[in-house]
Amino acid sequence: MNNEPHQSPRNILPDCIIPALALAFTVYYLTTITEVPWISQASAIVVSGLLLLSILAFVIRSIWRIRRHQETLQITAIFRDLSAYRAINLKRLALLLLTIAYVWLIDSFGFTLTTFVFVFSGIVLLSTLANWKNALIVSLSCSVIGYIVFIYFFKTRFPEGPIEHWLKGIL
Amino acid sequence: MGPDLSVFLGLIADTLGYWWVIIPATILGIVVGAIPGFSAANTIIILLPITLTMEPATGMIFMVSLYTSSRLGAGIPAILVNIPGTAGAAATPLDGYPMAVAGRGQQALAISFTSSVAAGLITTVAAIILIPWLSQVAFHLHSVEMIVVMLFGISLIATISAEDKIKGLIAGFFGLMIGYIGADVVYEAPRGSFGFLELYDKVPLIPALVGLFAISEAFVVIERSSILSKQGEIDQKQAGWGPTFEGIRETLVHWKEVIWTSLLGLVIGVIPGAGAAIASFVAYQQSRLMSKTPELYGTGHVPGLIAPESANNGVTSGTLIPLLIIGVPGGATAAIMAVVLEYHGVNFGPDLFDTQPMIAYGSFTAMLVTYVLLGLMILPLTRYFSHVMVVPTVYMAPILIAFTLVGSFVPRAYIFDMGVAIVFGIIGYIARRTGYHVAAILIGVILGPLLENYFLRALRISQGDLGVLFSSTIGNILWVLLLLSLVAPGMKRYFALSRVNRKKTGSD
C-alpha cells in the first residue's frame, strides 16, 4: 500500500478503507438505535454526526487534491503495490490464516499444544524450513514455560485441551 | 487525620518488616503488568485463596505492592514492542516506542522507571498529607464535571493526529462509535452489537488493545529483520550503562513535568471510575499543550514519555483514598481490595486511620517501600530488558501473537474475545498502513463508554435537560479550561506568526 515514496499522484484508495468501514459501521449502528429512548441515542448521534462530517471533509479534500493531480484513485495501483511486495504479502496472509486457525483450534486442543504448533509454524513460515531446529526449541520453550508459569503456578484460565487434562491427572 | 513524623517513621519501619510479602508481590506485579490481559486486578482475583488467608494488613500490603509494580511493568512492552501492558499505559508508546526504534530503548526504560518511581513517591507522600482534602474531590466531581474531564482526554485525538487532522478525527470518532457498542448504562438497550451476546457488555478493552497494538504491530514488523532501525541496532550493540544514567538524568532535568503530571494523576485517581487511562491521556495532552516544542511529541520526545508514566503512577495512590475514606473503590483493583478487607471485617471510614493504622496508613507506606524497592530493582535491569528488541522478528512476531491473543482470552475466558482481537488487529494494520493513528482509535474505544456513562447519568438526573451540562460552577470552569486548551495552540501559532511578520516588516 504506502510502502514507497510517490513522485506521481498518490493513490488514496487504500486510505478510503477506514472511512468506508467507519461509515458502514455508523449506518449499521444508527439502524440499531431507532427504537431505544432518545437519551440512549443522544451521545451516539452527536459522535456519528461528527464522524460523518470528518468523512465529508476527507472526501472534499480528496476531490480537491485529485483535481490538482496530487492524489489519484486507482484500483490497479493497489494490485501493482501488492505484487511488488508479493513475497512478504503472501507471508502476511499466511500468518493471518495461521492466527485464525490458532484461535479456531485452541478451544479444542488447549493452550500448550496449539501454541507449540502455532509458534513453530509461524517461525518456519517467516524464515525457512531449514530453521526448523531453532523453531522447535523456541516453540517448545514457549509452550512449556507458558504452561508452567500461567497454568501450573498462576492457575490462569487458559484454554485447556488433552495435554492440560493429562498433566492435571499426573501432577 | 494525618500522622506525626514519628508515627509515620514507625509505620515505615513496620512496613519494612513485611519485606517477605513485598518482594515477591513486586516481582509478580512487574511480570503481570507487562503482559496484556494480566492486570493486577486479575492476578489478585486468581490469588484470592492466598490473600484471604493472610492477616488483613499483610494481605493489603501484598495487594498494594502488586498493584503498584504492575503499573510500572505495563510500560515495558509499551516502550519495547509498542504494546501497552494495560490501558493505563496506552499513551506510553506514543513517544516511548519511537525512542526504542531509534536504539534508545534502554534510555526510554530508564526514563519510564525513574519518572514512575518519582511520581509514585511524590503522590504517595502527597496523598498521606492531603487525605482530608483529596477525599472531598470525589464529592465535588459529578457526572457533568466528569464529562469535561473525559473531553480533555478525547481532545488528545486531535493532538496526536498533528500530521493529518482529518484522518486523526476519523480514527478517533470511529473509535468512539466502537466504544458505544453494547447496552447503555441506564436503559440496558443493546446497540450495534451485531447480535453477539458477548458484546452486550461493551467491546472488551484488552482484546481491542491487543489487536490494535500487538497483532497489527506483528504484521508490520515481519517486513524487517529487527524492530530496531539500522542505526538503532548499532547503538543498541554499543550501549553500556550510559543510556540508563542518561535516562535518569533526563528525568531529573524534567522534574517539574514529573511533579505536575503525577499530581494530576493523583487527583484523577481519587475520582471513582476515572482510572489510569484517562489520567495518562490528559497528562500527555496537557504536557504537549504547555510545551515550547509541541511538534516533537510523538517522535521520541522525553516529556512525552514522562507525562503519561508519571500520571498513571500518580493514579495508584489516588485510587486508595476513596476506598479507605468512604469505602468507594477508585478502580477495579481497589474494588477487589475492598472485597478482601470486608471479608476480614474491616470497616472503612476516617476511623480506620485511628483504629487500624497499619491497614490505612500502611497501604501508603507499602506503596512508598514498593516504589523504593522498584527503583533499586528495576533500573539495573534496563540494560537487559532492552535486549528484547534485538530478537529477530521471525521469532518475535509469532510469540507476540500467541501470548497476547491468549492474554485477551484471560479477563473473560471467552474464545470470542480472541476473535475480537484479530478483528481489531486487521483494523489496526489497515490503519497503520494508511496513515490513521491506532492510538486515536484506542482512545475512542477506552473513553467512549466512560463519556457516554457520565452523559447518560447527567441527562437522567436532569430528566433530559441538556442545560445540566452547564449547571455547575466547577463544571463551567472546566469547560472554559477545555475551550482554552483547544484554542491555545492555534492562538500560539497565530501570535508567533504575527511576531515573525512584524519583524520582517520592521527589517524591510
Q: Summarize pLDDT for B234-263 with one digit per residue, the tens.
A: 776 777 788 899 999 999 999 999 999 999
Q: B192 and A51 in contact by Cβ < 8 A?
A: no
Distance set, CA B402 to CA A157, A163, B80, B97, B177 (Å): 15, 17, 17, 21, 28
Q: B192 and A100 in contact by Cβ < 8 A?
A: no
List chain B residues with CB under 8 Å of A111.
406
Q: How far is C-alpha B156 from the chain's CA centre?
A: 14
Tens digit of each residue's pLDDT (9 = 90 or more) over B83-121: 887 888 889 999 999 998 888 889 999 999 999 999 999
Beta carbons within 8 Å of B139's beta carbon, 6+ residues apart: none
Q: Does residue A161 sit at the B interface (CB-CB below 8 Å)?
A: no
Identify the closest residue of chain A to B195 by CA–CA distance. Answer: A32
Tens digit of each residue's pLDDT (9 = 90 or more) over B51-91: 777 888 888 889 889 999 988 888 898 898 888 878 888 89
Amino acid at A160: E
How far is Cα B169 from Cα A56, in angstroms, rounded to an integer? 12
User: Helix B357-378 to helix B5-16 angle, to the nearest 10 degrees?
Assistant: 60
| pLDDT, mean of residues B279-290 | 88
- pLDDT band for position A59 (50/70/90)? very high
Is B180 in contact with B452 (CB distance < 8 Å)?
yes
Q: B422 and A100 in contact by Cβ < 8 A?
A: yes
Closest CA relative to residue B75, chosen from B305, B358, B353: B305
Count of alpha carbons within 13 angstroms of residue A108, beta-carbon side:
4
Q: B397 and A126 in contact by Cβ < 8 A?
A: yes
How far is Cα A153 from Cα B145, in angstroms, rounded to an integer? 44
| pLDDT, mean of residues A91-103 | 95
Q: Which helix (H) or strand (E) holds B102?
A: none
**What mean pLDDT value characterizes chain B?**
85
Residue in B43, B222, B455 closest to A43 by CB = B455
pLDDT of residue B225: 79
Most confidently modeled range among B179-193, B265-279, B336-350, B367-381: B367-381
What's this model's pTM, rounded to 2 decimal places?
Answer: 0.82
- List, in sequence order, the alpha helices (H) in B92-229: 93-99, 105-140, 143-154, 156-160, 165-179, 205-209, 216-221
How far is Cα B78 from Cα B86, in angstroms, rounded to an integer? 9
Interface of A with B in 4-23 (CB under 8 A): 14-15, 17-19, 21-22
First CA to last CA distance, chain A: 51
| pLDDT, mean of residues A33-40 | 83
| pLDDT, mean of residues A101-128 | 94
What proportions of chain B, in percent to the nearest 5, are helix, strand and coil?
Answer: 80, 0, 20
ipTM: 0.91
Q: B399 and A142 in contact by Cβ < 8 A?
A: yes
Residue in B189, B222, B460 closest to A95 by CB = B222
Q: B192 and A43 in contact by Cβ < 8 A?
A: no
Interface of A with B in 92-131 (CB under 8 A): 92, 95-96, 99-100, 102-103, 106-107, 111, 115, 118-119, 121-123, 126-127, 131
pLDDT of residue A22: 95
Task: Give ∠ CA A12-A16-A18 in degrees, rounded to 5.
Answer: 135
- pLDDT band for position B161 (50/70/90)? low
Beta carbons within 8 Å of B325's beta carbon, 6+ residues apart: B131, B135, B348, B349, B350
Length in residues, chain B: 508
pLDDT of residue B162: 61
Higher pLDDT, B305 or B165: B305
Distance set, CA B127 to CA A59, A104, B130 (Å): 50, 48, 5
Residue in A48, A119, A158 closest to B398 by CB = A119
Residue in B174, B395, B409 closest to A138 by CB = B395
By mean pLDDT, which of A123-132, B133-142, B307-316, B347-356 is the weakest? Answer: B133-142
Residue in A1, A92, A95 closest to B434 by CB = A1
Shortest distance between the Cα of B177 and any Cα of chain A, in A, equals 7
Q: B222 and A92 in contact by Cβ < 8 A?
A: yes
Residue of B38, B163, B170 to mutate, testing the A interface (most A Cβ within 10 Å of its Cβ):
B170
- pLDDT band for position B508 (50/70/90)? low
